[in-house]
């Protein structure tokens, strides 16, 4: 299956080369351009095959056809998907807790990837599993999956640039301030452990939070990480004395909760194709109480 992109050239794009329009304009990556420029129908200008050095004229119709030849080793397994949004480029899933995103030695066939690949087979989507926003097994909420290499590359670059805005809901121990910011660098001190620590030698990490509700020495908060370090929210909240409920790694091992109470409630990003701002919200905040 190929993904077709059609661009109607505006006067502002006049005299640009196809390469400049596509790569310089952030529409596709240079790597992707190299893959398609030799295909018979990879790049068509007004229906004719052209080189990437061809110049554009206002009113031109530029067609790009990208074949997804990447292979997947994930075993398709039928299962239920909570689909929040889907188009030709993106699939957004509301992931329940206790479900790993990727297969592993202990979970070869019960991950989100397994179920998505079965869904792809039924839907005629020829693509490997490309997860853009990963979550821990025990963290629930919105997961964004790219359905082709172009959307994956665009969203990956947005993550690196820090323009993807993620919001989480969390239940933490203690009564938090009305709002606050944690600015504390994070490092993995030992390759033999998954646990991270705060260290001046660590990577820059900032987390913002605001309190939504408090009760019985617990706080329900909204968290917006400015950076995306592994375990950032869990470690930062523990660092200021408010560990997530159920977080055995950074909090108390036996506090009566079955998992860390963290839920990806909302993600905002720029759509890879339309360039519009897209906000996807979870419909299952109730998972924080299950």
Report, at the CATH architecture level, how domain 2-67 is classified: Roll (3.10)
Please provide the average confidence, as pLDDT, over all residues in the chain. 92
Interatomic CA distance for residues 183 and 30, integer angstroms: 35
pLDDT of residue 206: 97
For the chain, the domains span 2-67, 166-264
Strands 140-146 and 218-225: unpaired
Q: Read off the pTM.
A: 0.87
Rounded to 10 degrees, what is the CA torsion of 215, 263, 285, 171? Answer: -10
Same fold across 2-67 and 166-264 = no
Question: Mean pLDDT throughout 18-47?
Answer: 87
Strands 90-95 and 61-67: unpaired
Interatomic CA distance for residues 155 and 152, integer angstroms: 5
**DSSP-assigned states of every residue in 113-169:** HHHHHHHHHHHT-----EESS---TT-EEEEEEESSHHHHHHHHHHHHHT--EEEEE
Q: Name the residue among 87, 92, 98 with its Cα closest to residue 130.
A: 92
Please report, for residues 39, 45, 123, the alpha-carbon distance to residue 127 in angstroms, rounded to integers and kept in the order given.
19, 26, 11
pLDDT of residue 143: 97
Select which of 87, 94, 136, 255 is catalytic: 136
136 is an active site residue: yes
Summarize pLDDT for 65-100 with one digit per residue, the tens: 887 766 788 999 999 999 999 999 999 999 999 999
pLDDT band at 36 (very low <50, low <70, confident <90, very high): confident
- For residue 289, pLDDT over 70 is answered with no
Domain 166-264 has CATH 3.20.20.150: no
């Amino acid at each position: 299956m190929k993904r077709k992109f059609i661009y109607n050239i505006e006067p502002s794009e006049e005299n640009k080369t196809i390469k400049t329009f596509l790569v310089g304009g952030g529409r596709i990556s240079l790597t992707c351009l190299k893959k398609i420029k030799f295909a018979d129908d990879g790049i068509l200008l007004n229906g004719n095959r052209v080189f990437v050095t061809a110049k554009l004229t206002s009113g031109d119709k530029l067609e790009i056809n990208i074949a997804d030849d990447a292979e997947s080793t994930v075993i398709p397994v039928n299962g239920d998907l909570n689909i929040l949004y889907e188009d030709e480029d993106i699939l957004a899933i509301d992931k329940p807790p206790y479900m790993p995103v990727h297969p592993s030695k202990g979970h070869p066939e019960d991950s989100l990837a397994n179920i998505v690949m079965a869904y792809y087979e039924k839907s005629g989507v020829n693509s490997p599993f490309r997860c853009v926003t990963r979550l821990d097994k025990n963290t629930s909420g919105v997961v964004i999956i790219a359905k082709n290499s172009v959307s994956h590359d665009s969203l990956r670059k947005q993550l690196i640039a820090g323009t993807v805005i993620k919001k989480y809901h969390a239940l933490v121990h203690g009564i938090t301030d009305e709002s606050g910011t944690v600015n504390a660098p994070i490092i993995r001190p030992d390759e033999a452990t998954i646990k991270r620590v705060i260290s001046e030698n660590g990577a820059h990490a900032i987390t913002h939070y605001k309190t939504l509700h408090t009760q019985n020495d617990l706080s329900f908060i909204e968290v917006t990480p400015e950076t995306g370090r592994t375990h950032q929210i869990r470690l930062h909240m523990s660092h200021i004395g408010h560990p997530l409920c159920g977080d055995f790694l950074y909090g108390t091992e036996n506090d009566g909760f079955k998992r860390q109470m963290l839920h990806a409630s909302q993600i905002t990003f720029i759509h890879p194709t339309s360039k519009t701002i897209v906000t996807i919200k979870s419909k299952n905040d109730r998972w924080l109480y299950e």
